[in-house]
Amino acid sequence: MDKQMLAMLVCPHCQGKLKYDRERGELKCYFDGLAYPVEDEIPVMLAEQARRMDADEKLAKTRSGAGEARDDAT
Ligand SMILES: [Zn+2]
């Protein structure tokens, strides 16, 4: 998926940044614990279509340490 396009996308719920999971083909909002599917390179930004991440998956963010700024509190 195009990086510029990805940078423009925000979570429809919290307006937060999304993280693209290449392996699963999903855009993840760790704040809400939602994973939005990407179909044929088109992100489906609908809460009804989003998958709920489980607690372990949410923790994976810190484990894989992508070096993102911590802006959760804002
Ligand atoms: Zn969100």
Residue 43 structural domain: 3-63
Q: How far is the CA of 17 from the centre of ligand 1 (A)?
A: 8
- Determine, yes or no, domain membership for 73: no
Rg (CA), the chain: 12
Q: How far is the CA of 5 from the centre of ligand 1 (A)?
A: 17
| Cα 48 from chain centroid (whole Å) | 15
Residues of the chain under the 50 pLDDT cut: none
Residue 72, pLDDT score: 57
Instruction: State the CATH number of the domain containing residue 35.
Output: 2.20.25.10
Residue 68, pLDDT score: 52
Q: How far is the CA of 40 from the centre of ligand 1 (A)?
A: 22
Q: In the chain, which ranges are E strands?
A: 19-21, 26-29, 34-39, 42-43, 51-52
Residue 60, pLDDT score: 81
Q: How far is the CA of 65 from the centre of ligand 1 (A)?
A: 19
Residue 26, pLDDT score: 95
Non-local CB neighbours of 14 within 8 Å, separated by 6+ positions: 29, 31, 32
